Chain A
Amino acid sequence: MRTSAKATAAVASSRTDFALWFARYGTLVSLVALLVVFSIARPDVFPTVDNLLNIMNQISILGTMAFGLTVCLVMGLFDLSIAAMATLGGYVATFLLVQYPDAIGVPEAVFISLAIAAAIGVVNGLIVSYLGISAFIATLATGSIITGAMLGISDSKTIITGIPDAFMAIGQGAILGVSNPILIMLAVGLALWLLLEHTQVGRHLYAIGGSAEASRLSGLAVKRYAPFALAICAACAGLGGLMAAAVLGAGRPQGVGDGYLLNAFAAVFIGASSLRPGKFHILGTLIGVLLIGVINNGLSIMGVPTYWQYIVQGVLLVAALFSAGVLTMRRH
């Protein structure tokens, strides 16, 4: 019986080998192809160091948030509170700096706002682990609570005056020609890549995402990991919002993160169809973020109306998920 299965597998393999290869490298190929197409179309504008750094700068906030989201999706947890969490990160930091200019410096403001975001992430995780509510619903609820709280605290007023230059430097400064947001995104990406790929905690997160029951029976303290993963995700989302506030030079109490929510999920899912199909991983997420950044930048350079960016992104997401699905179906 097994030999015959092998024989049929061999016959089918020439066809499925391509599907396999495409599932693995399709997004990477698309990224390279887009770079080539845009470079040929606008050789004077697109393939310049300035524009490539510009693309990196444009994706830095999205990338930071998407890296964090990758950590909780590895465990199979959907965090829908990242939009509200980004708003919170930016608003709380500017609020503290403006309200207590003498007591709180920039490092303290950054630390406190990210700590608050992480603490709310821990609460999300406790709700998931100990109340047995799905992360999808729990984070939807806490996201709504955060949104309401921000509007209440701010009286719906945006903070514009009194933000110190040192804070704005987070978003507007540069080191050796590379902007701070790019450096922050890369640092977060590297740290989370190390965490997921090379530490015991990261391996346990993957194991729990693969089979919570097998992990529990293997002696893992399964319930401790959801608070951890959701705290990381929340802190990254808060950091993304903080970067946005520093770029803008303003602390907005609403709507900062909304544009990033869907794109972050799109980037992470595109990433899960790259290199290691069916698995969420940081390198894949980086590819997903770059793909979105290149499309948006290239289309706007070519003068294509903005609405096309949304349509292309949607098509791309479906294509990526489909190509990953081809492989997942084969496995079962």
Chain B
Amino acid sequence: MSATKAAPALSEPDGAGQAKAEIFLEVAGLVKQFPGTRALDRVDLTIRRGEIHALLGENGAGKSTLIRQICGASQPTEGRILIEGAEVSLPSPQAAAALGIAVVHQHFNLVPQLSVCENLLLSESLPRRAGLFVDWREAYRRARTLLTRVDLDLDPRIEVRRLRPDEAAMVAVAKAIATNAKLIVLDEPTTALLPAEVSVLFAHMRRLAGKGHAFLYVSHRLAEVFEIADRVTVLRDGRNAGAWTRQEMSRRAIIEAIVGARKSWDEDAGPAPAALGEVVLRAEALRGGRVAEMSFELRKHEILGVAGLPGSGAEEALDLLYGRYPKAGGRLSVGGADVDFRSPRDAKAAGLALAPKDRHAESLLPGASVRENISLPNLGQYVADPVIRFIRRRTERRDAERIAKSLSVKMSSIEAPIDSLSGGNQQKAVLGRWLASGAKIFMLNSPTAAVDIGAKAEIYALIRRIAADGGAVIFTSAEVEEFPRVCRRVLVFRDGRIVGELVGKDASEANILNLAAGAGDEN
């Protein structure tokens, strides 16, 4: 096993070893209780000076809740937080910052329209002349000092939106250091970065760690963790699931800790899968947007999973198939005929349906009734005459009621505003919209996002029913654990390409994660 193999060059610093022994932050028995759920259950975490510490776990494992407690955005229910051995309370982010803790969020909390200098000095007041006018020479001098501290050679007058993502990330780090942060929390900083930019960021991190700054680094990308982390802590279901030093790390142990012992999903209701039918959709070397290339076939009755880390092209594949942006090349055929979708309108006409990821921004009509939300794509079915195109309201209402009833959408009436429904019922209405349209190929992006557990099972059952009734489904989700539960075949994306196909028992969460994380020469 090659736990050390991922980072042969940098199992360095004995010189920094002494500094590392010194504990900066200690979290002991931290509990965070929300109504109905315990988001953190007696979590321990120790971060030493000058250490790069990776925090891993699935969505919902408690990573962000833990970070929120550490940076003062929220207060723990029980447990202690110690900084340099002394117990502290962190009632606000300002209090945490005063004790040397800074957070760099995924999107770097920078104002794109402002200059690097203005961003760096945003949290302090700009130097002034005569108490009134900004002393820009002094401000730029101070900004340059901060940039030098992170070895960044940038003109502080440049606007942040003109920076490369890795430069923006480093400006955010410089801003964190401006407040004399001793612990910098990086929340998925590499999501927007290209591989070359990631290595630049990592080089900076190592150098700053050498100077004694500690990092708590949250990421989904295992390969990166092996490259950069001195230690790893894994959370699962709000509890500690394991911790390793660099010497002890093994890919398999970490994945097992993240995934845990999964119970079987056989309890999900829904019809047994039917034998697969003919090919209904075929992509050949199709590319466009983040999808560099994909080729696959989808058959009638099939539920095909498309998995990958954020930005890998998995979610974008669904958008590309649905004509949300134009294809750059390759072929797509639906029902045996070549198609070239210029807009979602064309895709819908060919029998495709898309349930997009962000229900509120992309699929619901806010303020409109359940009926209006269900019949949105299907009004053409109720047109009474070809010229004025009057809508047969009664037929429309009857159909919407039938669909809502068959999906057991819980609502006070079909005329109730869609906003008054729970997330799960809203999502059922969105799926019902497409069932009513007679679509044959359903593309579902995270259909169970922000849906409670009971409704999740109903949606899984509905997906199976769609497939059993003669449809075909392409499914993707940010929660990897859903794939084995929903799909029998999973395509795994990495860097815009399909890097593997997992079928049946092999389509396990661990295998999907392994392929998606990449650099997986260990099995």
Contact = CB atoms under 8 A, between A and B. Distances in A.
B419 A207 contact: no
A198 B390 CA distance: 6
Given A200-B389, A221-B345, A331-B367, A207 B383 contact: no
Interface stretch (B272-280, B371-379, B469-477): B371-379
B419 A211 contact: no
Interface SS of chain A: helix
Contact of A204 (B364, B366, B379, B382): B379
Interface string B140-174: 00000000000000000000000000000000000
Contact of A1 (B35, B366, B368, B389): B35
A220 B379 CA distance: 10
B289 interface: no
B115 interface: no
Interface in B407-448: 417, 419, 422, 433
Chief secondary structure at chain B's binding surface: mixed
A214 B391 contact: no
A194 B389 CA distance: 11
A210 B35 contact: no
Nearest to B35: A1
Given A200-B391, A206-B368, A214-B363, A1 B36 contact: yes
Contacts of B379: 200, 203-204
Contacts of B452: 2
B388 interface: yes
A214 B343 contact: no
B367 A219 contact: no
A200 B380 contact: yes
Contact of B365 (A210, A216, A221): A210
Interface string A31-60: 000000000000000000000000000000
A215 B419 CA distance: 17
A331 B417 contact: yes
B77 to A, nearest CB: 16
Contacts of A332: 419
A312 interface: no
Contacts of A201: 389
B344 A214 contact: no
Which range holds the interface residue count of chain B? 35 or more
A252 interface: no
Contacts of B366: 210-211, 331
A125 to B, nearest CB: 18
B252 interface: no
Contact of B349 (A211, A219, A279): A219
A198 B391 contact: yes
A4 B36 CA distance: 10
Interface stretch (B9-17, B98-106, B354-362): B354-362
B383 A200 contact: yes
B420 to A, nearest CB: 9
Nearest to A5: B35
A278 B389 contact: no
B402 interface: no
Contacts of A200: 379-380, 382-383, 389-391
A220 B348 CA distance: 10
A331 B389 CA distance: 32
Given A211-B364, A217-B354, A278-B367, A203 B372 contact: yes
6 contacts: A1-B34, A194-B388, A207-B376, A210-B365, A217-B362, A219-B345
Q: Which 9 A-B pairs have the closest CB atoms?
A: A219-B348, A218-B377, A210-B365, A200-B389, A1-B36, A219-B345, A218-B376, A200-B379, A217-B344
